[in-house]
Amino acid sequence: MARILVTGAAGFIGMHTSAALLARGDQVVGIDNLNDYYSPQLKLDRLAQLSGKNGFSFQKLALEDRHGMEQLFRQHQFDSVIHLAAQAGVRYSLSNPHAYADSNLTGFVNILEACRHHRIAHLTYASSSSVYGANRKSPFSVEDRVDHPVSLYAATKKANELMAHTYSHLFGLPTTGLRFFTVYGPWGRPDMAMWLFTEAILAGRAIDVFNHGRMQRDFTYIDDIVEGVVRTNDLIPQAADPSTVENSGTAAPWRVYNIGNNQPVQLLRLIETLEQAIGRTAEKRFLPMQPGDVESTCADIHALQAATGFRPDTPIQTGVRRFVDWYRAYHGIPR
């Protein structure tokens, strides 16, 4: 049994990760600021899925609350930290940059400092496929350079990886960054395409299809994401002998992995799959590419598979059907 801090426990990935840890017998302390970026009620409903489980406790707390974070770490002796809280959203970062600086930068420093001073054995944190930005090589490999982000959100996630490396190098704090690729599934986020499309199709409204449908995303089902999070959190990075490290490498106990399905799906194909699951045809409104978006994503998962033996593999048809079934049940919409 381990005592694990999960930040963002009321979030999509945080709720599912907490449930998986509890199911195997770990104790989970969850925190979340329950902000109104999207429906706080959805976050409370997620927490309700956890609140009755043995070994779970929750505290409302913002990452940027330095004093509150210090108290939290003094109160509990965490074995590891799974840091999933962040201000999410690419387009929102265009109009609300300070929210990203507060949560994703200041908040991450508070996490690093707390882990350092309380000798946390391992910090696993959410990065994002968005760090690949304008990268044209596909699939995206953790060996690729990620120097050209195209949104502030992506820049903060790249900054998190750099900050984590600094703490791994200077203080020997083992850290693992996880670059998630377009996560979807039950209890997902209302600002993501899967939810927006499903909501509009069921309501008989037109859906916005950006870049005229010429987009591809490496849609990754939530269960695969959680499996990757739990496995990598159990795998504590070790420092290497500097003499054995290549020029571009690091001897610090620092790792980064992609977690993606390695099967990009064209946006129009996703819509067809949703139409089949819902039983209705979507009215499409074709629009140009939005600022901050990229045309295609695809994860190279060789590093993840080599380290953990795990390869995400949930087919898009299966995942979409599960999401639509959950969405109907959550909103009381009959089939």
- Report which DSSP code applies to 314: -
**DSSP assigned state of 262:** S
Both structure tokens of 224: 């695969």
How many residues appear in the chain?
A: 335
Q: Of all helices (H) and strands (E), which one includes residue 275?
A: helix 267-278
The residues near 78 (Cβ < 8 Å, ≥ 6 apart) are 3, 4, 5, 29, 118, 120
Backbone angles phi, psi at 304, to 5 degrees: -60, -45
Question: What amino acid is encoded at 48 in this protein?
Answer: A
Count the Cβ atoms, other than its own, within 10 Å of residue 286: 13
Active site positions, annotated: 153
Angle between helices 267-278 and 193-203 (to 10 degrees): 50
Pairing outcome for strands 216-217 and 265-266? antiparallel
Q: Which of 133, 139, 140, 142 is nearest to 165 (CA)?
A: 142
Give dist(CA 271, CA 281) in Å, integer.
9
**Beta 216-217 vs 80-83: how paired, if at all?**
unpaired
Q: Which two tokens stand for residue 247?
A: 């020029």
**Tell me, what DSSP letter sits at residue 299?**
B
27-32 and 123-128 strand pairing: unpaired
